[in-house]
Structure 1
């Protein structure tokens, strides 16, 4: 029991050391908008490069998390919906501790091809974006409006583990409200998924 407590304490300290002291709150401006990241095409892109006329969807993701894999149909659906409505889309892989394994750049390229990604999927070197966003889960979503202001953060919907049990599509609803010029009703939700694998 004592050993478990010590391990939990060490994990908490480790996470705190690598996260921004303040979580990114709704109403905040998009952080690190000009940091270049390597996309699976080999192109270097920034959030400003990807942003479209109606805003930007940033999703922290990876290849290896079961929750990401389980949510692929929903990821494709919401990404396509965003692009259709002139909202840019970028998936960001911040799993720096797994670059020699399942989240290597080559693995990302293969995964994006297998999943037929039609949007950016980029490497977050040294967790720069994840730290700026205080992101710690995959999948975890951040929706910015045309002024690059955060209007929603959290999960795609209310049932990440079971698509058949979804009752509220948080991200979809947030996009609709944003596009219509209405206030987003639910501005944040708890992200359920795997922890981002930062290097120690």
Structure 2
């Protein structure tokens, strides 16, 4: 396990973005909308979902071991909360020249393989993730219906084992939003691979 974790750390620092140059949003800020191409070759934006109670924007990708470990949890959250009016939108922020495993074509293959029932968008030109302040994959931003940021950070407190999660940060934040209450834990540290940019 120690060797695996070391590999993950080394893996995450190759072709990384400079996190010190990323500012991004804080809870209470109004997030920008976007219009990006999804794996079904259609363009999506939050404005397409007029009746949404909120949005779960997840910056994630194909290749990152952390993103892969969270993949089934992301699918589950998307399916469960869609029924409550919360739309999950996944965005791949990585440049495919820096990380070929995150090409648009391989995104399409992955979405088909895992039967994604949510938009999986490509941040072409890497214009959106710096606005949000995403630094990792996965990195989650919970927005209300007016795109006000309510929570930023990790999905939960256990990357390795979903059965041993003690704190479901994202789901707790959604519950507070549903109840019209302030989010007690509005930010956590996102754990994952750094976003890959062209050198």
Using the size of structure 1 for normalisation, the TM-score is: 0.85
Unaligned runs of 5+ in 1: 1-10
Aligned to 1:62: 61
Contact 2:98/2:198, CA 8 A, preserved across alignment: no
The structure showing larger relative contact order (alpha-carbon pairs under 8 Å, at least 6 residues apart) is: 2
SS at 2:57 equivalent: strand
Unaligned runs of 5+ in 2: 1-13
Supply the distance in 1 between the matched residues of 2:50 and 2:58 (Cα, whole angstroms). Answer: 13
From the superposition, tell whether residues 137 and 16 of structure 1 become closer, same or farther in structure 2 (CA, over 3 Å): closer
Offset, 1:161: 2.3
Aligned to 1:3: none
Aligned to 1:53: 52
Aligned to 2:111: 112
Offset, 1:36: 1.8
Offset, 1:50: 4.7
Offset, 1:162: 2.2
- Matched residue pairs, number? 185
Offset, 1:145: 0.6
Aligned to 1:30: 31
From the superposition, tell whether residues 148 and 101 of structure 1 become closer, same or farther in structure 2 (CA, over 3 Å): same
Supply the distance in 2 between the matched residues of 1:105 and 1:99 (Cα, whole angstroms). Answer: 13
1:141-160 matches, cutoff 5 A = 141-160=140-159
From the superposition, tell whether residues 100 and 177 of structure 1 become closer, same or farther in structure 2 (CA, over 3 Å): closer
